[in-house]
Amino acid sequence: MRHTIFVILLCVYLPSCTFSGGKAGPSGTHVSDSAPAQSAFQIGRKAIQLLPYPMRMSKLRHVVRSDNGEFYRSIEERKTELGAYDHSRGIGQELTWLETRMELWTKALQPICSSSHMFGQYSWRDGLAQFVQNAYGRDLSDADQAIISRIDGLNATPQAKFELYCLSVLSSLEFLTL
Amino acid sequence: MKNDIRAFIIFIVALAMSASYAFGTAPVYSEKAVVRYLSQVSSMLAGRPLTRDELERIKRERGDSIRPILETWIYDRFFPESAQTMIQTQLAASGSNNGINYNLPGNLAKYLARNALPYAEMLTADYCIDDQQKKIPCDTGAPFNAGVLTTRAYMVTNYGRFNLGRAGKMMRYFACLDYPMDKALQPPIVRERLIPMFQTLEAKPGADFGNGLACYTCHSQFGAHAQPFVKFDSFGLYRPEASGLQNPELEAGKSFDGLNASHLIDLSESASERSQMFGTEVANLRGAAVALAKSDKFLECAVQNSLHFYLRMTDSEASAIDPKVIRKIVADVKTTDRNPSLNELLLRALTHQSVIESVLASGEQR
C-alpha cells in the first residue's frame, strides 16, 4: 500500500509520468518539421485515454520478457476492472484512467516488479536504460534521471529501489497511453 | 571533363528536385517527426514501443523508414491480435455466454490478418474460426455462410424489430452508411410492396408508428437490407419456416417464435430471403454480403474503421476523415490488389502522406 501511494504521488508530481500527448520525442523535445499539413482529419484527444487492454498487456510482456502466466495472473484476474471487455457479459471496453483503476493496476504490478526475474533482467541502475527503452521506446530523459536519482537517495536495497522505479514506469501514463 | 561531370550531376539533382516538386513526391520528415509518428501507432500495431534497432533505422533513413517499419509490424505476430480487438470492440462482440461464442467475428478478423487474406472475407468467408484459430462451420445453422454476418454473435448482438438492428449495423459498420442513402446506390423498394406503415411519405395525424415522418424514405431501403435476415431468430438460429408476418399479439416488427417481421406486404415476398443489395438481386444473406463486399463503399469503410481504431480517434473524428483521402487510399490499393487484406489497406493508409501529416499536425495541437 505504501508503495502504491508513493508511485501515485510520483506519477502525479514528476514530469515523465505525465501524459506527453505525443509531443515528446526521444529526448523529450517538441518536434515537427514536416511539410505544411494536408490534413485529412484531426485528432483532438482531450481526455486521457488508456491503450486497449490487449495492447497494454502486450507492452507489459515486452518489458517483462516472460510468457510465464504467473507474472500476469493478478492482472488477468481483475482485467475487466482494468478496462478489458467481455461483451457477452455486458462489459464494454473502458479506457478512462480512474484513481481506483490506477491503484488496482499498481497493486497488480507488484508481483512483477518485486520479482527476482525482473531484478535479474534489469538490476539497479545499470539496466535502467534498457528498461526504459523496453517500456517507453526511447532513451532515458532528464526527467527519468531525476526520478532515478530521487529513488536512489532512499534508504532501501537495490532491489527495493528497482521495484519502486519499475512500478512508477509501468503505471505511468506514457506507458499506459502511448 | 571534370566540369562536364559536375554539370551532369547538377543537372540530375536539379531534375530530381523539379520532379519532386512537380509531382508532389513525399516530403522529407525529420528523424524526430518519424519517431513521433511511429510512436503514435506502435503500441496499437506491434503491441510494444519502438525498439533500439527501429530507432537506429529511423535515424539512418528518416521518412524512408516509415513504410518498412510499418510493414514489419502489420505482418508480424501481434497485428492479428489487434485486428481481433478492433472487430470485437467495434462490433461489440466478445466472450461466450449461453452456448454462444461471441468471439467468432473477432476470431475471423484475426485469422484473415494472420494469413493476410482479403478483408472482404469478413463478409464472404464460407467458414467460421474458433478460439484456437481453426476453421469450423458457422453456428447459425443456415444452409449458407457469410462471414461474420452468419454468426450467432452478430445475430444476437444486433437483434431487433424488423431486423433493423442487423441491417443497420451491416450498413453502418461495413459500408459506413446511414439511412436514407443515395438512391442510385440503393434503389428503394416501391411503396406498394411495403406494409402500410412504411408507405407513409409525410407526417399525418394519427400516424401509428414511429415519428410518422417520411417512413418510406428510409424504410424503402432499410427493408431491402433487412429482408435477408428474416429467417434468423432471436437466438441467431436459422429458421427455414419463418414467414416474416407480423404477430398481431406483439409490437410492430415482431413475427412469431422470436423471429422478426418483414417490411414486405406480400406473403411470398415476406417469407423469402430474396432481396437486392446496392441494386444487385440477391438470393439470401450470402448474396447480399457478396454484393456489399464488392462495393467500393466496403473498402472505404474498412479504411475509415481501421484509422478510427489504430489512431484511436473518436467516432466524430473518424466520420470527419476527408472522404477524398479515403477514396484515394482505396484507389491506390486497388491498382495492385483488387481484393486487399486489412494488412494491405492499413499499410497504404498509414503511409499515405495526408494521414501522416494529419497525425503529426494533431500532435502539434495537443
- Return d(Cα B37, Cα B350) in angstroms, integer: 10
Q: What are the distances in angstroms from CA A155 to CA A56, A110, A158, A163? A: 32, 19, 10, 14
Question: Residue B8: what pLDDT?
Answer: 53
Q: What are the distances in angstroms from CA B266 to CA A110, B196, B220, B272? A: 66, 11, 15, 10
- Return d(Cα B63, Cα B40) in angstroms, integer: 15
pTM, 2 dp: 0.88
Which grid coordinates are listed for B305?
Answer: 474503421
- Return d(Cα B95, Cα B97) in angstroms, integer: 7
Give the minimum alpha-carbon distance from B276 to chain A in angstroms, rounded to a whole number: 32
Q: How many CB atoms lie within 10 A of CB A92?
A: 12
Give the minimum alpha-carbon distance from B29 to chain A in angstroms, rounded to a whole number: 5
pLDDT band at B95 (very low <50, low <70, confident <90, very high): very high
pLDDT in tens, B123-144: 999 999 999 999 999 999 999 9
Contact B106, A54 (CB under 8 A): no
What single-letter amino acid sits at A78?
R
Contact B294, B300 (CB under 8 A): no
- Asked if B27 lies within 8 A of A35 by C-beta distance, the reply is yes
> What mean pLDDT do residues B309-330 have?
96
Cβ within 8 Å of residue B166, ≥6 positions away: B154, B155, B158, B159, B160, B226, B229, B232
- Asked if B321 lies within 8 A of A23 by C-beta distance, the reply is no
Question: Residue B202: what pLDDT?
Answer: 63
List, as own/partner pairs, every contact residues B268-272 make where C-beta atoms lie below 8 angstroms and the sequence separation is at least 24, other chains included.
B269/B193, B270/B230, B270/B243, B270/B244, B270/B245, B271/B230, B271/B242, B271/B243, B271/B244, B271/B245, B272/B227, B272/B230, B272/B244
Question: Residue B7: what pLDDT?
Answer: 55
- Asked if A138 lies within 8 A of B364 by C-beta distance, the reply is no
Q: Which of B48, B100, B354 is closest, CB to CB, to A40? A: B354
> Is B208 a residue whose pLDDT tops 60?
no
Q: ipTM of this model?
A: 0.87
Which grid coordinates are listed for A68?
Answer: 510465464
- HSE-CB at B264 with a 13 A cutoff on CA atoms is 25
SS3 of A88-110 = HHCECCCCCCCHHHHHHHHHHHH
What single-letter amino acid sits at A48?
I
pLDDT in tens, B261-314: 999 999 999 999 999 999 999 999 999 999 999 999 999 999 999 999 999 999
Low-confidence ranges of chain A (pLDDT < 50): 1-2, 5, 8-9, 11-37
Give the minimum alpha-carbon distance from B356 to chain A in angstroms, rounded to a whole number: 9
Q: Which of B78, B82, B317 is closest, CB to CB, to A43? A: B317
What single-letter amino acid sits at A146?
A
Q: Is B8 exposed, middle or buried (0-12, 13-18, 19+ CB in 10 A)?
A: exposed
- Return d(Cα B310, Cα B306) in angstroms, integer: 6
> Is B3 a residue whose pLDDT tops 60?
no
B51 contacts on A by Cβ (under 8 Å): 133, 137
> Is B173 a residue whose pLDDT tops 70?
yes
**Which residue shows C-alpha cell 495492447?**
A55
DSSP secondary structure of A77-90: TTTTTTT--BGGGT
pLDDT band at B28 (very low <50, low <70, confident <90, very high): confident
- Return d(Cα B150, Cα B128) in angstroms, integer: 9
Question: Residue A170: what pLDDT?
Answer: 98
- Return d(Cα B353, Cα B274) in angstroms, integer: 43
Q: Is B303 exposed, middle or buried (0-12, 13-18, 19+ CB in 10 A)?
A: buried
Query: Tell me, what DSSP letter sits at residue B26?
Result: P
Mean pLDDT of chain B: 91
Give ∠ CA B27-B33-B38 in degrees, rounded to 5: 105
Q: Which of A34, A86, A137 is closest, CB to CB, to B39? A: A137
> Is B170 a residue whose pLDDT tops 80?
yes
Question: Residue B217: what pLDDT?
Answer: 86
Question: Residue B15: what pLDDT?
Answer: 46
Question: Residue B24: what pLDDT?
Answer: 46
Question: Residue B69: what pLDDT?
Answer: 98
